[in-house]
Amino acid sequence: MLSTRKSNWGRWGESDELGALNHLTPERVLDALRLPKTGKTYSLGIPIQRSGVPNLDYRGTPQRLTMINHEDEAMARANGGAPGVGANEDQLIMPSHTSTHMDALCHVYSDNKIYNGYPADEVTPYSGAAKCSIDKVGGVVGRGVLIDVAASKGVDQLEPGYVVTAADLQKALDDQGIELRTGDLVLIRTGWLEDYLANQGEMMPQPGIGLEAATFLAEKDVALVGSDNTAVESIPFDQNVYLGGHIVLLVENGIYLLENVNLAELAADRCYEFLLTIGALKITGATASPVTPVAIG
């Protein structure tokens, strides 16, 4: 960790595993509940399926398999079920970092430490993460802010590999008449996901935030940063620093990340400020969870 940058290690105590979500006090949640004006809901997740969505090859393809269906009514017969009565069930086999997902604070480490200085080697193959795993996250509710960088630049999508700067974020906020506040849940639109879903183009490179923009957001004391791309940060990584944005946000500041967030409808409605809710699956020891964020405008 670079000592010259802001860090939240120890800010909420040496045993803290929640990170920047500590900003979401009851008072801030109540303030966020007053934001909706239209009552329109926006589902910001993308489908979990074998193809057609951004799946990284090394993670494996998500699988939905039919476990019980109309061809197997033995259990129904054994329990007194009438002919024609049965049940359909599935088995899901997928990476935790699939489709729209939330990174836990244990996901990335630097200098052999995860957030708050916990040792990185406390993540094991069978038990998972001993500290800062996704099951430590409760219900996330707060003020959501869309920063539409693509619209601010007058384009449908940013160029592949474009590195979003702090100035880009500030200009988009100024264009929208929005100011960031402590504890905000920030969603950044590059336009990349919309193009990928529509045209099934190349996965790489991707536009996203750079180190400067990540530091800007950390200094604003936001609680979460999401984007409509695969890593929130740009790929290739800014300044050739592998996972540099993750290190600034997740590791150094305990700021959670949302990846592959569908921001098209929010952007079309110019809904820049909203109530945002996120519920991660309580997977013990996991480094991430698929989520379906829901915004209410």
Looking up residue 176, the CATH number of its domain turns out to be 3.50.30.50
49 and 181 share a domain?
A: yes
In this structure, the answer to whether residues 70 and 182 fall within a common structural domain is no
Is residue 187 situated within a structural domain?
yes
The contacts found for 203-206 with CB under 8 angstroms, 24 or more apart, are: 203/54, 203/56, 203/230, 204/160, 204/235, 205/160, 205/161, 205/234, 205/235, 205/236, 206/160, 206/161, 206/230, 206/231, 206/234, 206/235
Is 6 inside any structural domain?
Answer: no
Q: Return the residue matching tokens 């996120």.
A: 278
Q: What is the DSSP letter of 253?
A: H
From 93, 116, 141, the end of a domain falls on 93
Residue with tokens 């599935």: 90
Task: Give the pLDDT score at 228.
Answer: 98
Last residue of a domain, one of 36, 70, 93: 93
Q: Enumerate residues 6+ apart whose C-beta is below 8 A from 289.
A: 96, 101, 102, 104, 134, 137, 280, 281, 283
Residue 85 counted as domain residue: yes
Give domain status of residue 51, yes or no: yes
Instruction: Indicate if 111 and 145 belong to the same structural domain.
Output: yes
Q: Is residue 3 part of a domain?
A: no
Asked whether 210 and 233 are in contact (CB, 8 A), the reply is: yes
User: For each successive 10 residues of the chain (297 residues), what is the average pLDDT?
Assistant: 76 98 98 98 96 88 84 69 79 94 97 97 93 96 98 98 98 98 98 95 94 98 98 97 97 98 98 98 97 98
Residues 174, 261 within the same domain = yes
CB atoms within 10 A of CB 232: 28
Is the domain of 158 the same as that of 139? yes
pLDDT at site 39: 97
- Determine the 3-state secondary structure of 3 from DSSP: coil
Whether 109 is in a domain gets the answer: yes
131 in the same domain as 173: yes
Please tell me whether residues 82 and 202 are part of one structural domain: no
Tell me: do 88 and 100 sit in the same domain. Answer: no
Q: Is the dihedral of CA 126, 232, 255, 279 positive or negative?
A: negative
Q: Could you give the C-alpha distances from 270 to 42, 145, 227, 238, in angstroms and in order? A: 12, 11, 16, 29
Determine the pLDDT at residue 155. Answer: 98
Specify whether 232 is located in the same domain as 282: yes
Both structure tokens of 129 = 């993460």
3 state SS of 226: strand
Longest dimension (CA), the chain: 71
- Structural domain harbouring 220: 19-56+95-296
Q: Which residue from 277, 214, 226 is spatially nearest to 256, judged by alpha carbons?
A: 226
CA distance 244 to 260: 18
CA distance 105 to 92: 24
Residue 190 included in any domain: yes
Strands (E), 9-158: 41-43, 63-68, 89-93, 101-103, 123-124, 128-129, 140-148
Are 125 and 52 in the same domain? Answer: yes
User: Does residue 8 fall inside a structural domain?
Assistant: no
Per-residue CA distances from 80 to 77, 92, 251, 291 (Å): 5, 28, 55, 38
Same domain, 172 and 286: yes
Residues 185 and 87 in one domain: no
Instruction: Quote the number of domains for the chain.
Output: 2
Task: Calculate ∠ Cα 147-261-9, nearest 5°.
Answer: 75
**pTM of the predicted model, to two decimals?**
0.94
